Amino acid sequence: MRVFVTGSNDGLGRDAARRLVDAGHAVTGHARNQAKADGLRAELPGIVDVLVADLGSLRQVRELAEAANAGGGFDAVIHNAGVYLEPSRVATMDGHSHVLTVNALAPYVLTARMHRPQRLVYLTSGLHQRASADLDDIDWRRRPWNAMDAYAESKLYVAALAAAVARRWPDVRSNSVSPGWVPTKMGGPRATDDLAAGSLTQAWLAVSDDPGAAVSGRFLFHQQVRPAHPAASDPAFQDALLDALERLTGDRLG
C-alpha cells in the first residue's frame, strides 16, 4: 500500500514509517525542513520520498497537500506530527496558536485538501480525556495560556476530527490513536509506556486486513478500541468543531 506519514523524521512517526517500509509498503515521509528530510532518507533508504513543510504555516500545509496530490494520492495517511507543551502562546505567521495549528489545523487542512485515501489515522493522546469541550476560544486569544490545557484540547479536536470524517465519509476508515506515554523526544525519558508498541497501532490501522483493524470512527490504544472523550463522539460537537476549523483556515471539509 501507498502510505503517507507526517512528522516521520523522528519518534513515533519514524518508527511507524520504518515498520511500514520493512513490511514492503511504499512509504512517503514528511519532515519540517530539508535537513531533516535528508536525514530521514539516509536513515530509511527504502522510503519512496520525503515531502518538506513546516506545519506551523498554513501556506506550507496547503503546499504539502498539493505535493502529496501530485503523486497521485495515497491508500492511507497517518497524521502523526504534533507538538507538546509550549510555555506561552506562540503565534504562527497566520496569527494562530502554534499548538493548535500543528496539532489540529494542519491535519484538518490536509484532510480537506488531499485526495481522499482509503484509511486515515490521527495521532491523539490519552490527555484528550481531560480537555474542555468549550469551543468558544479554541485559538487561545482571550484565555490566559495554559500549556497542558491547550495541548489536551488540540488532541480532543484531533479525536473529534477523526470521528467526524468517519461519519461524513463512510467509504473511509478514519480513527484516532493514543500511542501512550512513550519515551520519545516529546514524551521524555521518564515515560512509562513501551516505545516499540507506540507506533504499532497506527501502522496496523493503516495497512492491516485484520478484522480488528476494520473499524472506523473509533479511538484506539494498543490495538484496542477504548472510550474517547464524550464530545469526540458527539455529532453536534463534531459539526461545531468543523465549523470553527473552517473559520480559522478558510478550508471546508467536504
Catalytic-role residue among 108, 122, 151, 157: 151
The three three-digit cell numbers of residue 240, written as one number? 461545531
Q: Quick check: is 155 catalytic?
A: yes
CA dist., res. 185 & res. 180, Å (int): 14
State the Rg of the chain over Cα: 16
Catalytic-role residue among 36, 108, 122, 155: 155
How far from 217 is each of 146, 193, 197, 205, 234, CA to CA, in Å? 29, 24, 22, 12, 11
Q: Quick check: is 108 catalytic?
A: no
Residue environment code for 56-86, b if the CB has 16+ CB neighbours within 10 A, otherwise e: bbbebbbebbebbeeeeebebbbbbbbbbee
Q: Residue 253: helix, strand or coil by DSSP?
A: coil
Which DSSP state fits 172? S
Q: Hunting for cell 486486513 — which residue is that?
A: 209
CA dist., res. 252 & res. 25, Å (int): 31
Which residues are known to be catalytic? 151, 155
